[in-house]
Amino acid sequence: MERPIVEKSAASGLRKFSLLKEDPGRYLMRAVLAGMYLSIVVLVYWSLLNNLHDTPFGKVLASLFFGVGLSVIVFTNSELFTSNNMYLAVSSAEGKTSWPQTVALWVVCYLGNLIGAVVLTALLYFAGVLDSLPPEHALNQGAVHKAEQAAQVIFFKGILANWVVCLAVWVALQLKEDLAKIVAMILVVFIFLYLGFEHSIANMGTFSMALLSHGGLTFGQAVYNLIFSTLGNVVGGAVFVGLAYRYLSPEAMDQAEAAEAARELPPPRKAPKAAAH
Estimate to the nearest angstrom the gap between the alpha carbon of 277 and the chain centroid.
67
| Ramachandran angles phi, psi of 30, nearest 5° | -65, -35
Angle at the Cα of 236 from the Cα atoms of 232 and 238, rounded to 5 degrees: 115
Q: What is the pLDDT along the chain (277 residues), one digit of tens a residue?
A: 578 999 999 999 999 999 999 999 999 999 999 999 999 999 999 999 999 998 889 999 999 999 999 999 999 999 999 999 999 999 999 999 999 999 999 999 999 999 999 999 999 999 999 988 999 999 999 999 999 999 999 999 999 999 999 999 999 999 999 999 999 999 999 999 999 999 999 999 999 999 999 889 999 999 999 999 999 999 999 999 999 999 998 775 555 554 554 455 555 555 555 444 4
CA distance 247 to 251: 10
Q: At what angle do helices 99-126 and 3-22 cross, to 10 degrees?
A: 70
| Ramachandran angles phi, psi of 215, nearest 5° | -90, 10
CATH for the 3-255 domain, from 1.20.1080.10, 1.10.10.10, 3.30.390.50, 1.20.1600.10: 1.20.1080.10
Q: How far apart are the first and last CA of the chain?
A: 49
At residue 270, the pLDDT reads 56
CA distance 85 to 166: 8
At residue 276, the pLDDT reads 42
State the number of CA atoms in the 13 A half-sphere of 21 facing the CB.
10
- Per the CB < 8 A criterion, the answer to whether 93 and 242 are in contact is yes
The domain locations on the chain are 3-255
| C-alpha dist (Å) from residue 7 to 60, 129, 164, 177, 246 | 35, 44, 21, 20, 9
Q: What is the 3-state secondary structure (H, E, C) of the chain?
A: CCHHHHHHHHHHHHHHHHHHHHCHHHHHHHHHHHHHHHHHHHHHHHHHHHHCCCCCCHHHHHHHHHHHHHHHHHHCCCCCHHHHHHHHHHHHHCCCCCHHHHHHHHHHHHHHHHHHHHHHHHHHHHCCCHHHCCCCCHHHHHHHHHHCCCHHHHHHHHHHHHHHHHHHHHHHHCCCCHHHHHHHHHHHHHHHHHCCCCCHHHHHHHHHHHHHCCCCCCHHHHHHHHHHHHHHHHHHHHHHHHHHHHHHCCHHHHHHHHHHHHHHCCCCCCCCCCCCC
CA distance 24 to 22: 6
